[in-house]
Amino acid sequence: MRKLRCNATFSGMSILSEIGEHEAIRRILPALGKDPELRVGAGDDCAVCRLPGGGLDQVFTTDPIIEQVHFRSEESPERVGNKAVGRVLSDIAAMGGRPQWILVNVVAPPALEFQYLERIYTGMTRLCEQFGTLIIGGDMAKGSSLELHVFGTGLLPENSALLRSGAKAGDSILVTGPLGGSFESGRHLDFTPRVAEGCFLRESGLVHAMMDISDGLATDLRHILAQSGVGAALEGAAIPKTGTLEQALFDGEDFELLLTSADPDRLQSKWQEQFGTSLPVIGKITAEPGTLKLDGRILKAKAFEHFAGD
Amino acid sequence: MRKLRCNATFSGMSILSEIGEHEAIRRILPALGKDPELRVGAGDDCAVCRLPGGGLDQVFTTDPIIEQVHFRSEESPERVGNKAVGRVLSDIAAMGGRPQWILVNVVAPPALEFQYLERIYTGMTRLCEQFGTLIIGGDMAKGSSLELHVFGTGLLPENSALLRSGAKAGDSILVTGPLGGSFESGRHLDFTPRVAEGCFLRESGLVHAMMDISDGLATDLRHILAQSGVGAALEGAAIPKTGTLEQALFDGEDFELLLTSADPDRLQSKWQEQFGTSLPVIGKITAEPGTLKLDGRILKAKAFEHFAGD
C-alpha cells in the first residue's frame, strides 16, 4: 500500500485503483468537519448523533449493494433485497441500536423487468417488518447496472453506543456465530442481522467494543485494534467455522457481531440464558498496538478493497 | 401511459422503460407499510417522522446524481458536489426544514483520479458549511460511472412541515425566483438551495403548500394539484423567467420554491422586508381537480422521466 501511494499517473495524479477504498476514505475524512451534536463521525459502523430533547442518540448508516460486486445477476431478487436492507440493519445492530427508518435509492437499467424490482422490495419490506422498521422514502434513476443504496437510522440511550474504539488490553474477544463460506453457502444473501443480539449486548453493560463482520474477521478485527490502540491474539481452534480457518478469517460477509468484554463468563451465561446458544471466546485483546496474532504467530493482512487491484 | 402499462415483453412482464419512473414508484408505494410515528411517507419532497421526546419532527430525503444523467463528465467537480448536496438541501428547504445531517455514497470507476473525488467533496462540504450541516458518513464502491447518492435529514417544529397536499382553491401560487434555462446557464450546478427562504415561509404561517421545482414548474405543480385535489390557472406573463415561457414551464432543475398562500399580499410584504426582493404571484389554485391551465387554456403534460423513452 505504501508503495502504491507513491505511484502517479502521467498527469501527476493518483487514481482510485492505486489508492484503494479505505485509504481514499481515510484521506477524505479530515475535510468533513465536526459538530458538538456529532458524537461519532465516519469510521465506525454508524455515525452517532445526539438527538434533540435529550436521553437518546440516533445512529446513521448507508450501504450500497451493486450487481456483480455484491450479488450475481441471476440471484433471486427477494434475497438481493434481504441483503441490501440486512447490511444496514447489521450496522445498526453493531452499535447496539434499535432500527428506526430506512430509505432506498434504486439505480436500474431501463430494460429491468418491473416484477424483478417488485420482488426486491418484497425482500426488503419482509426484513423491515421483522425488525419493526419501515422504508419511508428513496428515489429511482437509470444506470447501466442494478444498484440499491440503503440508508438507515436507529435509536439507543445516549452515550450507550458500542464503538470500535472501546477495546481494552485483557478483554476477551467473542463472536455471535460461525464464520466463513458465506458466499458459497449463499448466507451472504439470506442472513438474519443480529439486531436483538446487538441490543442485548449493549444492555448487558458487559461489552467494551463491538462491530459487525463484513470484510472478514481478520480485517475487521484490525479496525477495532487500530481504533482502540490495542493488539489481539486469536486462537484458531476456538473460532466457530462453517468451513476452513482461512475462510473464517478472510471470507467476509458473515454479518455476525464481533465484540470484546472484560467479563466473558458472566456475558456468556447471560447470553446462554437469553438465546440458548453459546457465545464463544476466540481470543484476547493484548497491549501490543496493531499486532494481530493467530496461535502465537503474526497474521498478515489480506482484504477485499473496492477499486484496488483493477 | 395507460397504453404503455398494458404492453408486455415476450415473457409477459413489463420492463421499467415501458412503465416509467413515477409509475414504478406509484406501484411500489403501497407495499411499504405504515407507522404511527411516520407522519408523511414517500411522495412528498421529504418523509416526515415524529421525533421521540416531542416538539420536533425530523425530515428525511435522498437524491442520486449520476454522470451523464445529472451532470456531464467534463463538469467541474466542485460544482458536481454542490449540485449533489444542494438537491438534498433543496428538498429539506421545501418542507421548511433546517438541515441537520448528510451521508454520501460514492460509486466511482477505478480509473477516477482521486483529486477529482477530493474536489467533489470540497464542493459538498463548502455547501454543507454554508447551511450549518455536516457530512457524517457514507460508503464507497466501484462502478462503471460516477454516482453520488446523498442522504439528508432536517428538523422542524412538529406538525409544521409544508406539504404538497395543503393547497386550497382560491390560494395564490407564488415562486421564489426566475425559472428556465438552468441547464444552459449552468445554474443547475451552482444554485443556492432556498433553505433560509423555506424556513422563513414555514414560520410565516401564511403558506398552505410548498415544494421545490426540480422537474419543471408545469410538472411539479401537477404534484401539488394531485395531492391537494385541486386545479390551477397560471398567468404566463407573471412567471419570472430567465428564458422563454416554454423553458420556464418545462426545463426543470430550477430549485426554486413553489408555494400557495391564501394571503399573498401579507406574505409578499413580509418577504420584501426580510429578503429585499419580490415574491411574484404566478397564478391561482382552482376548484377543478387535476386541471392545469395557462392563460385560460389547458396545459398538456411534458415531463422528464427516468427509464421512459429508452
Q: ipTM of the predicted structure? A: 0.91
The CA-atom distances, in angstroms, between B72 and each of B29, B146, B189, B223 are 31, 10, 11, 28
Mean pLDDT in residue range B154-159: 97
Q: Is the pLDDT of residue B85 over 90?
A: yes
Q: Which residue has the higher pLDDT, B308 or A161?
A: A161
A38-157 in CATH: which number? Answer: 3.30.1330.10
The whole-angstrom separation of Cα B105 and Cα A60 is: 13
The whole-angstrom separation of Cα A21 and Cα A306 is: 5
CB A6 within 8 A of CB A294: no
Q: Among all chains, which residue has been given the C-alpha cell 456483480? A: A68
What top-level class would CATH report for the domain A164-298? alpha beta
The whole-angstrom separation of Cα A63 and Cα B105 is: 7
Residues of B in contact with A21 (CB under 8 A): 140-141
Element (H, E) at A220: helix A217-228
List chain A pLDDT tens, one digit each, 310 residues. Answer: 222 222 333 345 699 989 888 888 888 888 888 898 999 988 899 999 999 887 999 999 999 999 988 888 889 999 999 999 999 999 999 999 999 999 999 999 999 999 999 999 999 999 999 999 999 999 999 898 999 999 999 999 999 999 999 999 999 999 999 999 999 999 999 999 999 999 999 999 999 999 999 999 999 999 999 999 999 999 999 999 999 999 999 999 999 999 999 999 999 999 999 999 999 999 999 999 999 999 999 998 876 666 655 4
The per-residue DSSP string of B136-197 comes to: EEEEEEE-SS-EEEEEEEEEEETT-PPPGGG--TTPEEEESS-BS-HHHHTHHHH----HHH
The whole-angstrom separation of Cα A59 and Cα B101 is: 11
- What is the CA B180 to chain-centroid distance, rounded? 15
Torsion angle of alpha carbons A272, A275, A276, A282, nearest 10°?
A: -50
Q: Do A53 and B53 touch (CB under 8 A)?
A: yes
Reduce the DSSP state of residue A178 to 3 states and report it.
Answer: coil
Q: Is the pLDDT of residue B307 over 80?
A: no
- Listed residue (A150, A56, A53, A136) closest to A95, CA to CA: A56
Nearest CB among A11, A135, A139 relative to B64 is that of A139
Give the angle B79-B81-B86 at the CA atoms, nearest 5°. 90
Phi/psi at B114 (5° precision): -60, -35
Q: Do B9 and A113 touch (CB under 8 A)?
A: yes
The whole-angstrom separation of Cα A215 and Cα A242 is: 16
Per-residue pLDDT, A307: 66
Reduce the DSSP state of residue B209 to 3 states and report it.
Answer: strand
Nearest CB among B28, B62, B306 relative to A118 is that of B28
Q: Which residue has the higher pLDDT, B35 or B99?
A: B99
- Listed residue (A151, A70, A31, A20) closest to B64, CA to CA: A151
The whole-angstrom separation of Cα A14 and Cα A263 is: 47
Give the angle A122-A103-A64 at the CA atoms, nearest 5°. 85
What is the helix, strand, coil percentage profile of chain B, to 5? 35, 25, 35
Q: Among all chains, which residue has been given the C-alpha cell 416554454? A: B246
Q: Is the pLDDT of residue B243 over 80?
A: yes
Measured from the Cβ of residue A200, the count of other Cβ atoms closer than 10 Å reads 17
The whole-angstrom separation of Cα A235 and Cα A201 is: 22
The CA-atom distances, in angstroms, between B93 and each of B66, B89, B154, B203 are 22, 6, 9, 12
Measured from the Cβ of residue A6, the count of other Cβ atoms closer than 10 Å reads 8
Nearest CB among A27, A52, A113 relative to B15 is that of A113
- What is the CA B94 to chain-centroid distance, rounded? 7
Annotated domain spans of chain A: 1-33, 38-157, 164-298
C-alpha cell at B283: 397564478
Q: Do A60 and B121 touch (CB under 8 A)?
A: no
The whole-angstrom separation of Cα A156 and Cα A142 is: 36
Q: Do A32 and B136 touch (CB under 8 A)?
A: yes
The whole-angstrom separation of Cα A246 and Cα A64 is: 26
The whole-angstrom separation of Cα A63 and Cα A45 is: 10
Task: Place B304 in a pLDDT band, splitting at 50, 70 and 90.
Answer: low
Nearest CB among B62, B136, B149 relative to A137 is that of B62
- What is the CA B145 to chain-centroid distance, rounded? 24
Q: Is the pLDDT of residue B8 over 60?
A: no
pLDDT in tens, B159-186: 999 999 999 999 999 999 999 999 999 9
Residues of B in contact with A60 (CB under 8 A): 101, 103, 136-137, 151, 153
The whole-angstrom separation of Cα B235 and Cα B252 is: 18
The whole-angstrom separation of Cα B227 and Cα B285 is: 13
Mean pLDDT in residue range B79-98: 98
Per-residue pLDDT, A12: 53
Q: Do A33 and B138 touch (CB under 8 A)?
A: no
Per-residue pLDDT, A136: 96
C-alpha cell at A81: 433485497
A235 class by beta-carbon count within 10 Å (0-12 exposed, 13-18 middle, 19+ buried): middle
Task: Place B5 in a pLDDT band, splitting at 50, 70 and 90.
Answer: very low
CB B296 within 8 A of CB A96: no
Q: Is the pLDDT of residue B305 over 70?
A: no
Q: Do A113 and B139 touch (CB under 8 A)?
A: no
Mean pLDDT in residue range B69-90: 94
The whole-angstrom separation of Cα A45 and Cα A267 is: 22
What top-level class would CATH report for the domain B40-157? alpha beta
Q: Do B140 and A24 touch (CB under 8 A)?
A: yes
Average confidence score pLDDT of chain B: 91
Closest CA–CA distance from residue A299 to any residue of chain B (Å)? 26
- Listed residue (A16, A19, A26) closest to A2, CA to CA: A19
Per-residue pLDDT, B21: 82
Mutate to test the interface with A, among B35, B126, B140, B163 (most CBs of A within 10 A): B140
Per-residue pLDDT, A233: 98
Q: Do B62 and A135 touch (CB under 8 A)?
A: no
The per-residue DSSP string of B218-265 comes to: HHHHHHHHHHHT-EEEE-GGGS-BSS-HHHHHH------EEEEES-HH
Nearest CB among B31, B33, B64 relative to A105 is that of B64
